Amino acid sequence: MSSDKEVDIFRDTPVRLLGYANEIGEAFRPLVKKIWVHASYGVAISYVAADTFDKAGKTYKNPFISDAVRRSEVLKVSADTLVWQGLASVIIPGFTINRVCAGTLYLLRKTTKWPKIVRKWTATGVGIFCIPLIVTPIDHGVHFLMDNSLRKWLGIPCYLDHEAEKK
């Protein structure tokens, strides 16, 4: 099976799942010590940094008319990747799962007489269940946000326009 599209290890393979480590940490927050939640953010942030360095390195290897243009393009790609991954992989989904679990715990505490450990496990299960449901809408929302802000300011082609051209 041949394809002229290069496989992006950080977006097209299971390595992408490392970006969701903090959502797993947030889902398990009711059950584990904070250090484990913080460690999950460390994994996700390391993933974001690795993707940023990967994109910067690939851009650096491209031919440019001058070193100044090369530096400029590397900075643009780095900023785009860092901001997109930071929002789409860490900040927005982490906050979302945190609030889903907190809301679930609150509702269960107010509406059931379940033991605390059952409420915590239920909130964790709800959080984990929600992760695949939030990924695509958040990714699309962040692309829309960046296409209409940072990417315009940096002069980077809009992702959604680029995807439409591929089809």
pLDDT in tens, the chain (167 residues): 444 578 888 878 888 889 999 999 999 999 999 999 999 999 999 999 999 999 999 999 999 999 999 999 999 999 999 999 999 999 999 999 999 999 999 999 999 999 999 999 999 999 999 999 999 999 999 999 999 999 999 998 887 655 555 55
Give the count of beta carbons closer than 10 Å to the beta carbon of residue 49.
14
Please state the domain extents for the chain.
14-166
- Cα radius of gyration (the chain): 19
Distance CA 43, CA 54 (A): 16
The candidate with the shortest Cα–Cα distance to 43, out of 51, 54, 31, 33, is 51
Distance CA 70, CA 93 (A): 33
Residue 41 CB contacts under 8 Å (≥ 6 apart), including other chains: 21, 22, 25, 90, 94
Distance CA 18, CA 48 (A): 9
> What pTM does this model have?
0.87
Please tell me what DSSP assigns to residue 60.
H
